Amino acid sequence: MRNKPSLLMNSLFSMTCKRQLTILRQLECCGPLSGQQLAHACGASRRTIISDIEELRQLFGASTILASASNGYELMIQELAEYQEKKRALLADDPNLLFLHFLCQQETAIPEKLVAITGLGNQTFLKQCRQLQTLFAAYELTLNKKQWCLEGAEGNIRYFYKAFYFEEEEQPYQIFEQLAETLTLRYRPSLPIDPVVSLQWTKVFLLRAQQGGRLEENWEMADFCRLFLEKTGFVIEGLEVCRSLSQQERCVLLFLMMADEGVLSFLLKHPWVEETVPFDPIDSLRETFPKQAETLREDRVFVQVTLAVMLLDRLFHVPPPLLRDRRKPAVSEIGKPKALSSAASHYLLTIGESYLKKQQLKNNQLMITYHLCGNEKIKGWIKQRLSDWLAAQGVDVVVETTSELSIFTARQVVVTDQPLFLLELEQPIYRLERPIEPNSIERLGKAILADFLGQCKGSVPSEELQAASASH
C-alpha cells in the first residue's frame, strides 16, 4: 500500500499534515533516518523537518518517542492504540478530508458547512474542489457542483467510498462504527471470507443502499445469482436497509468479501461456478491474449482468474484505479460482441502479463507435506534442514499455510518416515530414513531434487520409491 499513491494522501489540503504523515510512515518502515533523508522524502528543507518533528513530539506525547541520535531520528511506539488514534487526530481537521466525508455522506449545504467549520474562504474552497477533480477522474467520477454529489457508474462510486474510508489506517472519519454489533452475516463455513475486508465492503454497500444507489441489473446473470446465493448460503440481515439489496448486489458483496486470493481459491474448488455462468471465459482469453490464448486455456488457475474478472465485470465493475499505465488490449472483430468491457479487458491484460512473468518462478515452487513421527522439536528440525538444503539449490519451498492458491500452483510431494502402505496419496512420496544420520537430509534432498528438476524440464520422473530409498 505504501508503494502506491493513496487517495487519502493525495487528498490532503494541509502540506504540514502531508509532511508529518510522511515522516511517521518513513520512520515506521525504516530504521533511524537522518534529517536529510526525511527532508528528501518530504521534498522539504531540514529546518522544516526539525520543526515538524518537534510538533509531532508535542502531539504524540508519551505514546511515542521520536528519539534523536547521532544516526538520525527513530520512532519508538509505547502504546500502539494511542499512537494510531493520534495519527488520525493529526488529519481530523484537514478541510479536504472533511469535504470528501461530507460528499460521501451526501450532506446538504456542503460549501457553507465547510467554510463555517474550517474558516476557508470561498475562493480557496473552489480552488481545492478543482484540484480534487483529478482524484475523482481516476475513478471515472465527476463532481456535480450544483447538487454537490459524485456522478458516475455505481460500481465506481463504491470503489471510491471503499478507498476513501478504508484504504489507510489514518482515516479520521468512519461509517457505521457499531455495525458489527447489529449485523448478521451467514454463509458456508468453508468460504474463504476475509473478516476485515468483509466488514469494509458491507459498510460501503449498506451506505450506498441507504443513499438510493443501485447497481445496474444484469438479467443474463439472474439464474446464476440465485444459484450462487443458494449454494453459498449467504444471508445478510440485522438492519432494515439489508432488505433493499438485490440478489445481484448480494452476489457481488460476497465475492468482494472473499478478497483476491479467496475468490480464486473458491472458484478453483467449486467447478460448478464455471459450469453455471452464462458465458465462456475462454472467449475472453482469445479476445485479450490472441497469441497466448491456447497456452493459457490449459492453465487452470489463469482460466479461473479470467472467470473472476468476467464475473465482476458482468455483475459490478472492474476498478478503474487499477487500469493506469496499461497497454491497449486486442480489439475483437468489428460487429462481434465483446466478451469483456474495455475496462475489464485492460485489467485482465494487466494481471495476465504479470501472471505470465511469474510462470517461470512457479516452476521452481515446491510444496512439501510431512507425515513424521516423534516430537515437535525433531519434526521442526527435519523440516527446516530440508527446506534450507532445497533453497540452497534454488527451489522455492512453500509452507502449506502460506497461500491457499499454492495448493493448485505448486508442485507437491510427501515426505514421511512411516510405512508407505499406510499412506494413500496421489503425490510423489519420499521416505526419510530413521535413525537420521549426518547425511540423511542431503540424500533425501537429492532424491527430491532429481525428480523435481526432471519435471521442470518436462522429462519423465524416476520411480518414487527408488528415488526415495536411502541407498539411492
| pLDDT tens, residue by residue, 422-456 | 555 667 888 888 778 888 899 998 988 887 766 54
Q: Can you give the pLDDT at residue 60? A: 87
The pLDDT tens digits for 255-307 are 999 887 788 888 888 889 999 999 888 888 888 888 888 878 888 888 888 89
Give the CATH fold of the 7-90 domain.
Answer: Arc Repressor Mutant, subunit A (1.10.10)
Averaged pLDDT score across all residues of the chain: 81
CATH architecture, domain 363-468: 3-Layer(aba) Sandwich (3.40)
**Fold match flag (7-90 vs 363-468):** no
Q: Decide if 287 contacts 345 (C-beta within 8 A).
A: yes
Handedness of CA 348, 353, 357, 363 (dihedral sign): positive
Q: How far apart are CA 403 and CA 259, in angstroms?
A: 13
pLDDT surpasses 50 at 373: yes
What is the C-alpha to C-alpha distance for residues 36 and 238, in angstroms, rounded to an integer?
Answer: 53
Cell 447489529, residue?
Answer: 182
* Domain extents in the chain: 7-90, 95-166, 179-359, 363-468
Q: What's the pLDDT tens digit per position in 381-424?
A: 899 999 899 888 878 787 655 555 555 566 788 888 877 655 55
110 Cβ contact list (under 8 Å, min separation 6): 99, 102, 103, 148
What span, in angstroms and rounded, lies between the C-alpha atoms of 175 and 227? Answer: 31
Top mean pLDDT of 63-72, 118-127, 463-472 is at: 118-127
Q: Which range has the top average pLDDT, 40-49, 55-64, 284-293?
A: 40-49
Could you tell me the pTM of the whole model?
A: 0.73
Integer CA distances (angstroms), 402 to 311, 365, 377, in order: 26, 12, 21
What percentage of residues in the chain have a pLDDT greater than 70? 84
**Mind listing the pLDDT tens digit for each residue in 6-37?**
889 989 999 999 999 999 999 888 878 888 99
Q: What is the DSSP string of 362-418?
A: HTTEEEEEEE--S-HHHHHHHHHHHHHHHHHTT-EEEPTTS-TTHHHHSEEEEEESS
Q: pLDDT category, 339, cuts 50, 70, 90?
A: confident
Asked if pLDDT for residue 330 goes beyond 60, the answer is no
Give the model's pLDDT for residue 5. 54
Mean pLDDT of 238-264: 89
- pLDDT tens for each residue of 172-225: 998 888 787 788 889 998 888 988 899 999 999 999 999 999 998 889 999 999
Q: What pLDDT is stored for residue 29 in this prediction?
A: 83
